[in-house]
Amino acid sequence: MATTTTKTGQPLDRPQLDSLLRRRLFFTPAFEVYGGVSGLYDYGPPGCSLQANIIDTWRKHFVLEEDMLEVDCTMLTPHEVLRTSGHVDKFADWMCKDPKTGEIFRADHLVEEVLESRLKSDKEARGQKVEVDEEKEAKKKRKTKDTKAIKLDDAVAQEYEEILAKIDNYGGDELGLLITKYNIKNPTTGGDVLPPVAFNLMFQTSIGPSSNLAGYLRPETAQGQFLTFQKLLEFNQQSMPFASACIGKSFRNEISPRAGLLRVREFLMAEIEHYVDPEGGKKHPRFHEVKNVNVGLLDRKVQLSGRTEVTHMTIGEAVASGTVDSETLGYFIARIYLFLVRIGVDPKKMRFRQHMANEMAHYAADCWDAEIQTSYGWIECVGCADRSAYDLTVHSKKTGAPLCVRETRSEPLHIEEWQVDLDKKKFGPKFKKDGKTVEAAVDALTQDMREKLSVSLAQTGKIQVDVPGVGDGKVEIEKDLVKIEKRTKIEHTREYTPNVIEPAFGIGRILYSLLEHVYWSREGSEERGVLSFPPPIAPTKVLLVPLSGHSDFKPLVGRLSQKLRQLGISNRVDDSSASIGKRYSRNDELGTPLGITVDFQSVKDNTFTLRDRDSTKQVRSDEDTICAAIRSLVEGQKTWADVQEELPEFTQQETD
Amino acid sequence: MATTTTKTGQPLDRPQLDSLLRRRLFFTPAFEVYGGVSGLYDYGPPGCSLQANIIDTWRKHFVLEEDMLEVDCTMLTPHEVLRTSGHVDKFADWMCKDPKTGEIFRADHLVEEVLESRLKSDKEARGQKVEVDEEKEAKKKRKTKDTKAIKLDDAVAQEYEEILAKIDNYGGDELGLLITKYNIKNPTTGGDVLPPVAFNLMFQTSIGPSSNLAGYLRPETAQGQFLTFQKLLEFNQQSMPFASACIGKSFRNEISPRAGLLRVREFLMAEIEHYVDPEGGKKHPRFHEVKNVNVGLLDRKVQLSGRTEVTHMTIGEAVASGTVDSETLGYFIARIYLFLVRIGVDPKKMRFRQHMANEMAHYAADCWDAEIQTSYGWIECVGCADRSAYDLTVHSKKTGAPLCVRETRSEPLHIEEWQVDLDKKKFGPKFKKDGKTVEAAVDALTQDMREKLSVSLAQTGKIQVDVPGVGDGKVEIEKDLVKIEKRTKIEHTREYTPNVIEPAFGIGRILYSLLEHVYWSREGSEERGVLSFPPPIAPTKVLLVPLSGHSDFKPLVGRLSQKLRQLGISNRVDDSSASIGKRYSRNDELGTPLGITVDFQSVKDNTFTLRDRDSTKQVRSDEDTICAAIRSLVEGQKTWADVQEELPEFTQQETD
């Protein structure tokens, strides 16, 4: 794995970043004073504000921009709904238990860990350099026993490599066979493990006092959205296409959570369900607006050939060449890209990877993940799946609710078809108890068969139909009982189940990846970390720093703070006795993009210096001008370069 | 119960409002196509947007305004935390089961329902008018059997009335006795019910694959906040007072949910934990800013005397007179009041009611509820509790974590005290195995005792100390073993557990109450409902209406829509073929405060009419002026009256 880098291209020192994030309370293990619960994290003030700003931007970028119908559905979900959706049966991982110690392993992780450790040992025995894969190291919960370097047969080493390449594709039985065949044990104790059993990843509970209504915490927000489809379509005045959106927590009872915010048990999602007519190639009315957006794609074919090179092309080219299946899928890939760049993700550390056929969730027809490169490897942060008509169909079938679109055809549809009329009065007496069965067999005849039978009827005066279970399986019907004619049917309405394109965002993963991308440290003083959030995303926008504790500064600082607050701009005052440099350093770590220094000149003429976090450059102007500049920076209308061009630079005062 | 009224003072027709809210998809029963789950609701687009705007205003009003430390804590909470907080033992309701039918009743509701029905029947038998209490009627899940009017003894009727007045105060045993004594049965079948058992209201689940880590969905956001106290204090640079805040879902497994959004199983809360030094009377530094806010108070004393009159006074007077215990509690009562008015709650339908001593949650030292009047009665929407040091103390005791503040005293504290020195070397050999017990008894001596013993030691050369369990319970210590002297102890730091003032907002209840308060119907056409949200709260701000489907209008509408979107102002286009009046009516029901009509004049000179939802008055001006007016209305800086004064009225066009 290539070393990941900071925003400024230096090697990323993750422990140093982690320490910053802990120190500044971006997030923290939940219930830490009780020893913590793995996979559960709390967001502290800067993390919480960052999350709120990402969500706010998401809402503007997607919901407001496209008039999506936002809904807020419950997390508690009854068993029946998730059984129909397939989650009760299929939303599971395989786990193995060590019966002696009671330890539980995720079966694929266990196989992976043991084989990798053997390969590493083999390399050592061969005197080869061992590359440490940080992602994999981070995944390990426990230290494996220090083993002596043992050389493997070349063929065995080869087998191990092949298994590891396919590790995501094995089912429970196959994992069990691998464990037996390769004698895989508990890495800590060397003890045997039991065969893998499926562990459903949903948190179960019971709703109401009688405990006979089983429920789960939702694994995705999607199901609630699907079940309100009919009401939303009506709200949208029956107009297609449209999208619903939902922002909320989902849950996944991971067997062994790891890698910090990247694999947790409770997480914030933002999901869009875009409903589209499956006919006509899933066009999108606004595709032209994004067709020139250039994205990095890693398609299925490249992966199948064992390679991982990303191909850069415009989304227009990708759709035209068939790499991306439809305009609608392509439209959302481009919109996801623009969103991620807007909040500060480095476009050079982003790619869209197509799922392999056997890797997709049970409901997906096609899927592209927006993956972001971090020190844990390429992390799936947004899934963009074509769920086809899967969900609406299964729920409709189960409940009888019409989860479909009925459209009046602009022109009635004329359908030429062979119709069969049976003379019911004579039919019953003749076939008696078999009447219904014969009738059903006739109704099920294809158009081709009907045409052939009409010929036979005209020629022989009777037809012969296959009816399994009646007599010898063939039934003859005379012409006095049956008529076959070609007629024209006129359909005025069209009924169809829309397909769903679903961009699903894991906000916690995006947030963590973003932290890695905006992190860097000042040249020459590596301990001075900076988080260069774009101003609209930054947790706090402005730091107010009085030069000293002098009483003249207090009213000015108070007035400025209130004024900014009224403009909706979050700001903090640091009037501690630390040096100005120290106070700015602290806020560099918090990612505060702007600072105002209040000095003696301010008291005299109501002018202030405004400092840019990234360049540490300063400009100076009067209160109103400074506030206007801040507002335009925070709302994303201007950059610091614009402001620096407009306002006089200020260099007198040493701030570092 | 007095009839509740609409915004314009007409009697509120709840079924009509309900029908509007359903039709416009403000909220809807969750999983309705699966038959629904009681107590679970989804918010549709206008409800979801309304909720987001309330939350946004809340964040500005509280978090941003007071630099609160917002956190986002997990909902999944381990058993141990909620056992310590008292919720595992005490967060329960009493339920009774009918063993024949399997029906489960909330015990207090059952007693209430049966006794009320008997009293009603008694009144009918006495020929008295029976007032229908809509709140109570709505609470009933099922129809009680139609009973003949039966007259009660005067004494019995009196007993029933007294029981009903105290119904919230009975425990499980007492409810059981009432059920037996008054022969209370299943109202539908007349069958016996089993004695009440406690039903814990938390949803239980298990965390991780081993099922030995029991957890619950949090019943409040508070516990997560308390457990991060120490980190937040450090983040706040050890400075007190400060507040944390958390917005998120909480859960309550109601025995029998009812009354729509008012009693649900999953609900959004916004909670503040304000930490204050318990010494010095819990002053608040910004109390002077709110001291003239006039609020309606219903204190404990008035309620004890059986009355419900609200007393109006400024919060300054309330604190000065001791009605409200402290400045900090008073400060938040005033701030809550200002928030509710800001989002559109009618101040005449709002009161603050103090909890009775036996009504408070197990952790509360004092509590005032902001209650809002609705057609369901007075509804508790915000609780403002003084939780004292309860939570930090129990968690600290359980875990050993120092959930407290350590302050360097500005002046070291000099404490004069009697100190006792024991000569350990001689002490051990003399008292042998009793040494530790005697020493502990000496250490436990009060200052008064020490002073007396010092006199006795000086006079008699020995002291006598009570040491239960050693010898005859009295031990003599000679002066060669003990010295007692008055000395000065100097304390440089002060350690204390802060008290917590907790304003806790039930967002769903506020949202529903608000809907009732802003609802009215146009005079003379009662079916035309209007929801008069203040513009900053309204789900959609602007409706764009082209006069007709003429193609000249399309580009203007598109440009306006995009321009408003860029200003962050949500808007919808209605270019359906319905009349302008119909289109505006639909949006009156959605509460859209502003409408822009695009007509042929607009095409000529780029001027537009702007319509006010409440008055249906219109003004006309050029695009930029109209957009600026909209922005100032939506941000709450101007009222429609301001705009109407500034811009020329437009009367030509008929819009109704």
Contact A272, A382 (CB under 8 A): no
Looking at residues A33-53, what average pLDDT do you find? 96
pLDDT at B215: 96
Determine, for residues A25 and B209 on separate chains, whether the beta-carbon distance falls below 8 Å: no
Give tens-digit pLDDT for B524-582. Answer: 777 889 999 999 999 999 999 999 888 999 999 999 999 999 888 999 999 888 888 89
Determine, for residues B208 and A77 on separate chains, whether the beta-carbon distance falls below 8 Å: no
Looking at residues A272-297, what average pLDDT do you find? 95
Nearest to B74 among A30, A65, A572 (CB): A30
Interface predicted TM-score (ipTM) over 0.90: no
Instruction: Give CA–CA dist B536/A52, Å, rounded.
Output: 19
Determine, for residues B565 and A78 on separate chains, whether the beta-carbon distance falls below 8 Å: no
In this structure, which CATH number among 3.40.50.300, 3.90.850.10, 3.40.50.800, 3.30.1200.10 belongs to the domain B540-646?
A: 3.40.50.800
Determine, for residues A71 and B33 on separate chains, whether the beta-carbon distance falls below 8 Å: no
More confident residue, A110 or A526: A110
Question: In angstroms, how far is CA A494 from the centroid of its own chain?
Answer: 33
Dihedral sign from CA coordinates of A278, A279, A285, A291: positive
Determine, for residues B104 and A210 on separate chains, whether the beta-carbon distance falls below 8 Å: yes
Contact B34, B524 (CB under 8 A): no
Question: In angstroms, how far is CA A12 from the centroid of its own chain?
Answer: 25
Dihedral sign from CA coordinates of A117, A120, A124, A126: positive
Determine, for residues B224 and A44 on separate chains, whether the beta-carbon distance falls below 8 Å: no
Percent of residues, chain B, with pLDDT higher than 70: 96
Measured between CA atoms, the residue of chain A closest to residue B245 is: A45
Instruction: Give CA–CA dist A196/A104, Å, rounded.
Output: 10
Q: DSSP readout, B553-588?
A: HHHHHHHHHHHHHHTT--EEE--SSS-HHHHHHHHH
Measured between CA atoms, the residue of chain B closest to residue A216 is: B205
pLDDT at B651: 85
Contact A324, A368 (CB under 8 A): yes
Q: Which residues of B touch A255 (CB under 8 A)?
A: 208-209
Determine, for residues A208 and B38 on separate chains, whether the beta-carbon distance falls below 8 Å: yes
Judged by DSSP in three states, A272 sits in: strand
Nearest to B45 among A71, A95, A568 (CB): A71
Contacts of B569 (CB under 8 A, 6+ apart): B541, B542, B630, B631, B634
pLDDT at A562: 92
Q: Which residues of B touch A33 (CB under 8 A)?
A: 227, 230, 395, 399, 401, 403
CA distance, residue A518 to nearest chain B CA (Å): 22
> Which residues does residue B486 pair with via DSSP β-bridges, in sequence order?
B418
pLDDT at A383: 96
Domain B14-85+202-285+299-317+354-392+501-505 has CATH 3.30.930.10: yes
Which of A24, A74, A227 is the mutation pick for testing B, counting most B CBs within 10 A?
A: A74
The residues spanned by each domain of chain A are 14-85+202-392+501-505, 93-200, 412-489, 540-646
Q: Which residues of B touch A24 (CB under 8 A)?
A: 235
CA distance, residue B572 to nearest chain A CA (Å): 8
Nearest to B235 among A30, A44, A401 (CB): A44
Looking at residues B158-163, what average pLDDT do you find? 88
Q: Which residues of A touch B81 (CB under 8 A)?
A: 31, 34
CA distance, residue B9 to nearest chain A CA (Å): 30
Nearest to A72 among B48, B231, B570 (CB): B48
Which of B24, B40, B242, B269 is the mutation pick for testing A, counting most A CBs within 10 A?
A: B40
Is residue A655 very low, low, confident or very high in pLDDT (cuts 50, 70, 90)? very low
- List phi, psi (to 5°) of B158: -60, -45
A412-489 matches A14-85+202-392+501-505 in CATH topology: no
CA distance, residue A48 to nearest chain B CA (Å): 6
Percent of residues, chain B, with pLDDT higher than 90: 69
Contact A385, A350 (CB under 8 A): no
pLDDT at A141: 47
Q: Which residues of A touch B30 (CB under 8 A)?
A: 73-74, 224, 227
pLDDT at B1: 45
Q: State which fold the A14-85+202-392+501-505 domain adopts.
A: BirA Bifunctional Protein; domain 2 (3.30.930)
Which of A54, A72, A507 is the mutation pick for testing B, counting most B CBs within 10 A?
A: A72
Which of B24, B26, B28, B31 is the mutation pick for testing A, counting most A CBs within 10 A?
A: B31
Please give the CATH number for the structural domain made up of B411-489: 3.30.720
Q: Which residue has the tokens 């039918």?
A: B101
pLDDT above 90 for B143 = no
pLDDT above 90 for B179 = yes
Task: Number of A to B CB contacts under 8 A, please give it.
Answer: 199
Q: State which fold the A412-489 domain adopts.
A: 3.30.720
CA distance, residue B214 to nearest chain A CA (Å): 11
Give tens-digit pLDDT for A134-189. Answer: 545 554 544 455 557 888 888 898 889 888 877 877 889 999 999 999 999 999 89
pLDDT at B133: 53
Looking at residues B282-296, what average pLDDT do you find? 96
Looking at residues A332-353, what average pLDDT do you find? 97
Looking at residues B269-281, what average pLDDT do you find? 95
Looking at residues A434-442, what average pLDDT do you find? 86
Is residue B329 very low, low, confident or very high in pLDDT (cuts 50, 70, 90)? very high
Q: Which residues of B touch A544 (CB under 8 A)?
A: none
Give tens-digit pLDDT for A198-257. Answer: 999 999 999 998 877 899 999 999 999 999 999 999 999 899 999 999 999 999 999 988
Measured between CA atoms, the residue of chain A closest to residue B266 is: A74
Determine, for residues B76 and A203 on separate chains, whether the beta-carbon distance falls below 8 Å: yes
pLDDT at B314: 98
* Among candidate residues A619, A610, A609, the one with its CA nearest the CA of residue A648: A619
Please give the CATH number for the structural domain made up of B92-200: 3.30.40.230
Contact B636, B536 (CB under 8 A): yes
Q: Which residues of B touch A206 (CB under 8 A)?
A: 203-204
Nearest to B72 among A43, A64, A73 (CB): A43
Instruction: Give CA–CA dist A48/A45, Å, rounded.
Output: 5
Nearest to B231 among A37, A44, A75 (CB): A44
Is residue A527 very low, low, confident or very high in pLDDT (cuts 50, 70, 90)? confident
Determine, for residues A231 and B45 on separate chains, whether the beta-carbon distance falls below 8 Å: no
CA distance, residue A213 to nearest chain B CA (Å): 9
Cis peptide upstream of residue B241 (ω within 30 degrees of 0): yes
Instruction: Give CA–CA dist A94/A107, Å, rounded.
Output: 5
Q: Which segment of A88-97, B125-134, B194-203, B612-621 scores lowest on mean pLDDT?
A: B125-134
Judged by DSSP in three states, A90 sits in: helix
Determine, for residues B37 and A102 on separate chains, whether the beta-carbon distance falls below 8 Å: no
Determine, for residues A42 and B224 on separate chains, whether the beta-carbon distance falls below 8 Å: yes
A500: number of CA atoms within 13 Å, CB side? 25
Nearest to A71 among B43, B95, B213 (CB): B43
Domain A93-200 has CATH 3.90.1210.10: no
Determine, for residues B81 and A230 on separate chains, whether the beta-carbon distance falls below 8 Å: no
Determine, for residues B207 and A568 on separate chains, whether the beta-carbon distance falls below 8 Å: no
Determine, for residues A266 and B208 on separate chains, whether the beta-carbon distance falls below 8 Å: no
Computed over every residue of chain B, the mean pLDDT equals 91
CA distance, residue B399 to nearest chain A CA (Å): 6
Contact A209, B255 (CB under 8 A): yes
Give tens-digit pLDDT for B299-325. Answer: 998 888 878 899 999 999 999 999 999
CA distance, residue A65 to nearest chain B CA (Å): 7
Nearest to B227 among A24, A31, A102 (CB): A31
CA distance, residue B604 to nearest chain A CA (Å): 28
Measured between CA atoms, the residue of chain A closest to residue B35 is: A399
CA distance, residue A73 to nearest chain B CA (Å): 4
pLDDT above 50 for A656 = no
Determine, for residues A42 and B228 on separate chains, whether the beta-carbon distance falls below 8 Å: yes
Helix locations, B314-418, DSSP H? 315-320, 327-343, 390-399
Per-residue burial over B434-459, b if 16 or more Cβ lie within 10 Å, else e, is ebeebbebbeebeeebbeebbeebee
- CA distance to A83, A203, A216, B282, B484, per residue, from A200 (Å): 12, 8, 11, 50, 69
Instruction: Give CA–CA dist A153/A555, Å, rounded.
Output: 78
pLDDT at A643: 96
Measured between CA atoms, the residue of chain A closest to residue B77 is: A31
Angle at B364 between CA B359 and CA B367, to 5 degrees: 70
Eight-class DSSP state of A119: H
Contact B258, B141 (CB under 8 A): yes
